[in-house]
Amino acid sequence: MVVRGGAMVAAVLGGIILVGALLRFYGLGAQSLWSDELASWRQSHQASIADVIEVGVRPTPYPPAFQILLFFVEKHVGESEIALRVPSAIAGVFAIVAMFFLAKQLYSEREGLIAAGLLAFSYQSVYYSQEARAYSLLLLFSILSAHFWFRAREQLEVDDRMAASTAAAYAMCAIVTQYLHHFGLLLVAIQLGALALLFVRRPRALGWVLAVAAVVVAAYLPWLGYLIEDFGEGHDYLPRPGLHSVSEFWRFLYFDTSGYFAWFVALLFAIAIGRTLADRRGSGRGDLVAWLRSPTALLIAWLVVPFALAYLRSLSSSPILNNRNLLISLPPAILLLARAMTCALGNVRLQLLTAAAIAAILIYGPFVKGGYYRYPRKEQFREAAAAVAARDDALGDVRVVAYAWAAESFDYYLERTGAARRVDLLAGSEQDISRTRAFLAAEDPAHLWFLAGHRRPDRAYIQFLDRELEFVEHVPLHGAFARLYRRRE
């Protein structure tokens, strides 16, 4: 069934996009850049694109597409929090539009509006749309690549060939997706592998699939050597997965960390599956094969396979399973929920009212009750630097020691808050005590700021500073702190 009235559909979709845009752009610069966002800035803050790749990105395990984009943003727009986050916010809005058209392509305009609304009010989508990282663009291009993948599949089903425009559009989206993130590469590999399996017995169609795959693979060859070097790398801060990882993944996809909404979604799926099985009672093998090639079955595969592969890899070698990597599975989760609502709830008005109620709950929970825009949610590097700047004139002879992944993380904000000083020494572990002792002996500052962000300094290091210097003040912050000392007389 289709929601009646093209003008009505356009008006509802326009309202969804408008509210989604407000959620993503409101307070875009309110939070300090946190450690990973500052890493994006450090990697892109180079003299040329070649330096972005070789100096900025190459020492990391990530591909360079987002940092190259930020290079141009910094050059032509600026380096403020808002400027660095604007690409993600724009991508988040376009993802809502892309979700509507993908759901409409697979099912109908009704599912399109529901899916667009769910994505617009999704906490995960809003959060990553306000972060200077690749994840919001990864979400957008995951949807776009899927849109052209399904179009290519339909065309191959009809006459064993793709339209040149479809092949080019899919190849372009797939190339961007794989250069945004390694999990984008995983998604593209799954898409191409699935397309080859679907048409393995139809040589002409398979030839088109292999031709497109050759273009996508050839485009990735310049980065393939780096991928192979980093393949064994995982994240040592991630725990080994267990059965709890499945429920955590489900709750992440379905908006509610408390689990209540996830149970409601599971109930909707159960009802929808029951109705589908009842409708297919007595169907033969041919109907089963047809269902396995249906959009719903393919969406289930898109939802499950990336998680299963990341789970197995994390068990067998280095842990890579975390929620933000699996943002590529958010689109099928939302599409399947939209479809489950139309299947489980027979009345159109009931479907739309339920969708509106879910949207209201999603807005009220994190954004109103949870104070998403009122409370700090990212590490307060900016506020730590502001504490230094506020006392610049009064302190005079002062040095700055910082504990973060890079001195530039604090220097970014020390410059923007007007502080005269920059980080003089990067230290904070017990192994850094001897270097710090030598630094203090050489500089003999009247005052010392010790700043920490993202990384927690060793207790022994703090005790060392407390012994060597006279403690003056501690400024506690979210995910960071500033600690002031003066020379002992």
The span from the CA of 172 to the CA of 449, in Å, is 49
- 3-class state of residue 420 by DSSP: coil
Which tokens in the block code for residue 258?
């408390």
Which residues fall within 8 angstroms of residue 301, CB to CB, at 6 or more apart? Answer: 190, 194
Inside any domain, residue 375 = no
Q: Identify any residues that bridge with 476 across adjacent strands, giving them in sequence order.
A: 481
Q: Give residue 235's pLDDT.
A: 59
Q: Are residues 203 and 239 in the same domain?
A: yes
Task: Give yes or no: residues 201 and 309 share one domain.
Answer: yes
pLDDT in tens, 434-484: 999 999 999 999 999 999 999 999 999 999 999 999 999 999 999 999 999
What's the domain count of the chain?
2
- Phi then psi for 482, rounded to 5 degrees? -125, 135
Residue 32 lies in a domain: yes
Query: Are residue 262 and residue 411 in the same domain, yes or no?
Result: no
Identify the residue whose tokens are 């179009």. Answer: 151
Task: Provide the token pair at 293.
Answer: 């090639």
Q: Does a structural domain hold residue 374?
A: no
> Looking at the structure, do residues 308 and 395 belong to the same domain, yes or no?
no
Q: For 4-35, what is each residue's pLDDT tens digit?
A: 568 889 999 999 999 999 999 999 999 999 99
Neighbouring residues of 444: CB distance < 8 A, sequence distance ≥ 6: 487
**Does any domain span residue 1?**
no
Instruction: Say whether 2 sits in a helix, a strand or coil.
Output: coil
Q: Do 122 and 109 contact (CB within 8 A), yes or no?
A: no
Is residue 283 scored above 60 in pLDDT?
no
Among 307, 338, 369, identify where a domain stops. Answer: 369
Q: What is the DSSP letter of 321?
A: -
Q: Coil, helix or strand for 272? A: helix
Q: Which of 44-53, 155-164, 243-252 has the lowest mean pLDDT?
A: 243-252
H and E: helices and strands count for the chain: 22, 5
Q: Output the six-digit token pair for 476.
A: 């506690």
pTM greater than 0.85 (yes/no): yes
On the question of pLDDT at 87 being above 50, the answer is: yes
CA distance linking residue 481 with residue 173, whole number of Å: 42
**Has residue 234 got a pLDDT over 70?**
no
Question: Does one domain contain both 163 and 215?
Answer: yes
Among 313, 338, 369, residue at a domain's last position: 369
Query: Does a structural domain hold residue 476?
Result: yes
Phi/psi of residue 425, nearest 5 degrees: -150, 135
Q: Which domain range does residue 200 map to? A: 6-369
Residue 366: per-residue pLDDT? 86
pLDDT confidence of 265, banded at 50, 70, 90? confident
Res. 286 pLDDT band, cuts 50 70 90: low
pLDDT band at 144 (very low <50, low <70, confident <90, very high): very high
467 half-sphere exposure, CB direction, 13 A CA radius: 9
Tell me, what's the pLDDT at 2? 47
Does residue 134 sit within a domain?
Answer: yes
pLDDT, one tens digit per residue, over 70-85 is 999 999 999 999 999 9
Residue the block writes with tokens 């997965």: 241
- The answer to whether 347 and 202 are in contact (CB under 8 A) is no
Last residue of a domain, one of 369, 404, 431: 369
Quick one: average pLDDT of 396-422? Answer: 94
Max avg pLDDT among 297-301, 348-352, 360-364:
297-301
Can you read off the two tokens belonging to residue 121? 């009010």
Residues 253 and 345 in one domain: yes
The CATH number of the domain where 476 resides is what? 3.30.110
Domain identity same for 315 and 354: yes
Q: Which of 16, 191, 9, 20 is nearest to 108 (CA)?
A: 9
Local confidence band at 120 (pLDDT 50, 70, 90 cut-offs): very high
Which range (168-182, 277-291, 309-323, 427-441) has the least confidence?
A: 277-291
Percentage helix, strand, coil for the chain under 3-state DSSP, each rounded to 5: 70, 5, 25
22 and 98 in a single domain? The answer is yes
Instruction: Report phi then psi at 291, rounded to 5.
Output: -65, -40
- The residue among 417, 419, 478 whose CA lies nearest residue 81 is 417
Tell me: do 223 and 244 sit in the same domain. Answer: yes
Q: Which band of pLDDT confidence, cut at 50, 70 and 90, is reported for residue 178?
A: very high
38 and 128 share one domain: yes
Confidence of residue 67 (pLDDT cuts 50, 70, 90): very high
Answer yes or no: do 295 and 423 share one domain.
no
d(CA 210, CA 196): 8
Mean pLDDT for 397-425 is: 95
Assigned domain for 466 exists: yes
Q: List pLDDT tens digits, range 444-453.
A: 999 999 999 9
Please give the pLDDT value at position 1. 43
pLDDT at site 317: 80
Cα(197)–Cα(210) distance, integer angstroms: 11
Q: For the residues 110-133, what does the mean pLDDT come to?
A: 95
Mean pLDDT of the chain: 91
Query: Is the pLDDT at 40 greater than 80, yes or no?
Result: yes
Query: Quick one: which H or E segment has residue 405?
Result: none
Domain-embedded: residue 21: yes
**pLDDT (0 to 100) of residue 264:** 82
Q: What is the pLDDT of residues 181-211, one digit of tens each?
A: 999 999 999 999 999 999 999 999 999 999 9
CA distance 147 to 158: 17
List, in order, residues 6 or more apart from 100 with CB less than 8 Å away: 13, 16, 112, 113, 115, 116
Rounded Cα distance, 141 and 172, in Å = 10
Q: What is the pLDDT of residue 236?
A: 64
Residues 240 and 361 in one domain: yes
Q: What is the pLDDT of residue 352?
A: 82
Tens digit of each residue's pLDDT (9 = 90 or more) over 42-62: 999 999 999 999 999 988 878
Query: Would you state the pLDDT for residue 285?
Result: 54
